[in-house]
A = this chain, B = another copy of it.
Amino acid sequence: MELRSEHGCFGGRQYFYSHASQSTGTQMNFSVFVPPQAASQKVPALYYLAGLTCTEETFMIKAGAQRLAAELGLLLVSCDTSPRGLDLPGDADSWDFGVGAGFYLNATQPPWSGHYRMADYVNEELPALIEANFPASAERRGIFGHSMGGHGALVTALRNPERWHSLSAFAPIANPVAVPWGQKAFSNYLGNDEGAWAEWDASLLMAKQAFPSEVLVDQGEADAFLERELHPEALEHAAEKSGQSLRLRRHAGYDHGYYFIQSFIEDHLRHHAGILFA
């Protein structure tokens, strides 16, 4: 690991690192906020997956999460949204596919399959790295995210409920097989077999098996992507099928950005803390 910068923050430390990732075969960047409580004990870690075009910095700069994480004693982790620097054909042609748009899955189609393995990175490699190098408990992990990262958090936890204990999302791409962002990404990364797509769709996964703890989802009603790309109602239907405990809240006047996220970040941290410290 290479330390790129560190900063005092609310009595804890904010770190930015890069490392050579086995999952992606590239250097990957990640960020960690270590709360003051971690000076004397291991603490639960809460992983945040960012949306299209974002980086490992976005959440730490814009979400306003460190204040309450320092109070509750949560270690926060975020990472980049794709491998970078590969220069694969077409990887920089659009903002919603390729660089900055890894969709937190394991690609099966060339040229993506060798590097676009963000699911392995988030589910296995990054937690192992964090738990080996920071005072993060390996027993209690939470995960959440925004938009493409909300999809990523839901899918990561629903596919691996033995590894993740708490789960929430802001404005997730809830049913990617049914919307343009998801169809573009899945057809390129996974090919045209829609059976393969179903393994990476939060609503299809949730309909089959409920996550063990309550799932919190916040959605702004003034979100410009709501009708075309997000489809939170698909999660509600899935939760009915599997008996998932789902708290989906719709908020009038809030859009898709970080002014929305920061307005409700406290509720998400308290949701995770309530489960991770139980």
Question: Is there a chain B Cβ closer than 8 Å to A4's Cβ?
Answer: no
Whether A225 sits at the interface, judged by CB under 8 Å, is no
Given A61-B62, A62-B61, A64-B67, also A222-B258 (CB < 8 A): no
A7 touches B67 (CB 8 A): no
Q: Are B67 and A262 in contact (CB under 8 A)?
A: yes
Do the beta carbons of A259 and B67 come within 8 Å of each other?
no
Q: Is the CB of B7 within 8 A of A259?
A: yes
Chain B residue at minimum C-beta to C-beta distance from A266: B67
Q: B259 contacts A14, CB within 8 Å?
A: yes
Residue of B8, B253, B260 near A263 (CB, 8 A) is: B8
CB distance from A18 to the nearest CB of B (A): 19
Given contacts A62-B61, A64-B67, contact A259 B8 (CB under 8 A): yes
- Give the residues in chain B near A220, CB-CB below 8 Å: 8
Closest residue to A11 on the B side, CB-wise?
Answer: B263
B61 & A255 in contact (Cβ 8 Å cutoff): no
CB nearest neighbor in B for A70: B263
**Shortest Cβ gap from A218 to chain B (Å):** 12
Kindly supply a per-residue 1/0 record for chain A positions 224-264, scoring 1 wherever the CB is within 8 Å of any chain B CB and 0 otherwise: 00000000000000000000000000011111011110110
A82 close to chain B: CB less than 8 A: no
User: Which B residues are in CB contact (< 8 Å) with A66?
Assistant: 259, 262-263
Say which residue of B67, B252, B259 sits within 8 Å of A9 (CB atoms).
Answer: B259
* A8 engages B258 (CB within 8 Å): no
Q: What 6 new A-B contacts, CB under 8 Å, besides A8-B259, A8-B263, A10-B263?
A: A7-B254, A7-B257, A9-B259, A9-B263, A61-B61, A64-B262
Mind listing 9 A-B residue pairs with CB under 8 Å? A7-B255, A7-B260, A8-B254, A8-B259, A9-B260, A10-B262, A64-B64, A64-B67, A67-B266
